[in-house]
A and B are shown apart, each in its own frame.
Chain A
Amino acid sequence: MVELVRTESLRRYFAAEKLGLLEKLAGRKQRYIKAVDDVNVVLNKNETTALVGESGSGKTTLGRMLATLDTPTSGKIFYSGVELNEDALESVRHKVQIVFQNPYESLDPRMSIRQIIEEALTRYGGDDRAGRVKEVLEAVGLNYSDIHYRKARDLSGGQRQRVAVARAMAANPEFIVLDEPTSALDASVQSQVLNLLVQLKKQYGYTYLFITHNMMVARYISDRIYIMYAGKVVEAGLSEEVFTDPFHPYTKLLMESVPSLEPTARLEAMKGEAPSLLNPPPGCRFSPRCPYAFDRCFKEEPRLHLVGQRLVACHLFEDRER
């Protein structure tokens, strides 16, 4: 297991409203939306790490920072052991790629498919660009001659997403961030795209960060999983283990909220709503909704620590062996 990407105390705060000069003089404090708050993740080479959470969990923001599209407010990102700062950025950028959720928004509507892929090859010499474009389009199961001259609006959602994957592959990245790549697709197309991603990873040795809110997909595709809630990581471990034996109350309740095809399936709904990121609750952010919350939970924020092979941030597990 070789580590590829690691973060240390990563934070991303967004200014809630821009303060005018007068307000600043009056002593009004700038408020922040704490989208990602003190997060440590480790992504291993040639593994698929799933980042699971609901809206407001910070998973997309974290994904964007790892894809170098956004700069952290504080904390560090390490890529292959090298710290990601201004200088290292350019050299890392050509090893990282991203596939977005919305296939309708991530392709330039004015460009032909060929041009879209070619753009990915900007850094590469003109020599066999055409060949490479053909190669990646066929690798994702699209027919070059049928498709290369078309515009994005002529393609179906599944096809557009394949183009997005082909584009991500074109420049030979090491690490691909996939932000809900199948959420906007139909069930039958979703399977096709998931199979494709698995096959490509095997063939080209990619490392994936797979961001999703869909538990079943996360379970299927990932080796390791991080569960996020309100800007923090609450649980992390091997996917199979986390799914069969969730530790954190949020993870447990989340699993129970997911509809399944079992005949006796029943949904257990969590009470309440996700907390405000401007003013998170004191102590554990999940405490207002947690059925197991006790005194300490409302006062002290639990730290993420190792319990066996699992990382959990919950006071219920604090006494267990390290």
Chain B
Amino acid sequence: MNILKKALGFRDDVDAVRSAKGENLSTWYYLLHKKQAVVGIAIIAMFLVWSTVEGIMQLLGGYARDPSLGWLLLPHNPISSPSLTTSLLPPSLRYPMGTNFEGQDIFSRLLYAAPKDAFAAFVVVLSAVALGSILGIVAGYYGGWMDEILMRITDAFLAFPGLVLAIALSVLIGPGFSSVLIALTVIWWPVYARLFRGQTLTLKYRGFVEISRLFGVSEAKVLFRHIFMNALDPVIAYMALDFGTVILTYSTLAFLGIGIQPPYPEWGSMASNGLSFFPSAWWYTFFPSLTILLVVIGFILFGDSFQDVISGRVID
């Protein structure tokens, strides 16, 4: 434990008194001590590890032109041809979450679909941060009319109800996974633009930013190294929460029929399809919904704790 502490950079004496005085210790220290954060981290870890492994398998399958690699690790073939005999079976040892109308194992389908949710979450959030940070930092740092214009554009996007806009965009661009991702990114970046702009407004007057002008540091470097990197701290906490929100939104769109097309499974569309069979074949909508719920809660638990810790800390 002590080695772990040292590795994470704790300094006992300084930390002890600071903690006693109510200041915050290293982020990870607090997080690892908070029950809800630990639960959240556990859920996220399972989700991400599995998604990575399965995702790689699916990619390899694509390259090798052998899609069966994608379900090598799964109990059953998630996209097996429809079969009446195995249709709508309740949960059992063989089919832990039961089967769907087409007779496919729900558990395997959920596992198969996981990487896409993870991928969507990362791509959308990271793109939104990339786009939002550039616009927000430029607006905040230079001010003036550039700030005005950029902020009006941001406000315009924010004024639209996100989901409606996402649906409209997806329909416009056409069906498919990438169109959903693009649509989501478009509605996601304005919040980050605002966040980064706010941070930039405070940071640009800090001593170390001003003095870099005297050193002849290029503006781009100042914006990235000093402003962006320091603005990231509070934003990261928000990002953690956001991953969950993206998954939820993505699932909602899938539920509404936007995004991935059958026969490929998707959590949201599975939950939607299962509704028609509720409550007799309750497992069909129950387990996909539960999975979405659990994963999103995992991100919320982690993100929330992270935000608590970070917000106390930003002052230092």
Asked if A and B form a direct contact in the complex, defined as CB atoms under 8 angstroms apart, the reply is: yes
Q: Footprint of B on A, CB under 8 Å?
A: 67-69, 90, 93-94, 96-98, 100, 102, 104-111, 116, 119-123, 153-154, 167, 171
Whole-angstrom CA separation of A153 from B315 in the bound complex: 12
Q: B230 near A108 (CB under 8 angstroms)?
A: yes
The 0/1 profile, CB within 8 Å of A marked 1, for residues 206-231 of chain B is: 11101111111100000001100110
Interface size on B, residues (CB 8 A): 18
Known: A90-B216, A116-B208. 17 other contacts (CB 8 A): A93-B214, A96-B214, A97-B211, A98-B211, A98-B214, A102-B207, A104-B316, A105-B206, A106-B207, A108-B208, A108-B225, A108-B226, A108-B230, A111-B225, A119-B212, A122-B217, A167-B211
Chain A residues with CB below 8 A from B210, complex form: 69, 98
Residues of B26-56 contacting chain A, CB below 8 A? none
B156 at the interface (CB under 8 A from A): no
Question: Bound state CA distance, A94 and B216, in angstroms?
Answer: 8
Q: Which of B210, B216, B217, B226 has the largest count of A CB atoms less than 10 A from its CB?
A: B216
In the complex, the answer to whether B216 meets A122 with C-beta atoms within 8 Å is: yes
Asked if B14 is at the interface (CB within 8 A of a chain A CB), the reply is: yes
- A69: which B residues are within 8 A, CB to CB? 210, 213-214
Determine the residue in chain B with the shortest Cβ distance to A119. Answer: B215
- Evaluate contact between B229 and A110: CB separation under 8 angstroms: yes
Could you say which residues of chain A place their CB within 8 Å of the CB of B207? 100, 102, 105-107
B213, B214, B229, B230, most chain A CB atoms within 10 A? B214
Tell whether B11 is near chain A: CB-to-CB under 8 Å. yes
Query: How many Å from the CB of B82 to the closest CB on chain A?
Result: 56
Contact A107 B208 (CB under 8 A): yes
Query: Do B229 and A153 touch across chains, with their CB atoms under 8 A apart?
Result: no
Chain B residues whose CB sits within 8 angstroms of the CB of A68 once the complex forms: 213-214
A67 touching B214 in the complex, CB below 8 Å, given contacts A105-B206, A108-B230 = yes
List, in ascending order, chain A residues with CB within 8 A of B215's CB: 119-123, 171
Collect the chain A residues with CB atoms within 8 Å of residue B216's CB.
90, 93-94, 122-123
Query: In the complex, what residues of B have CB within 8 A of residue A167's CB?
Result: 211
Nearest CB in chain B to that of A103: its residue: B207
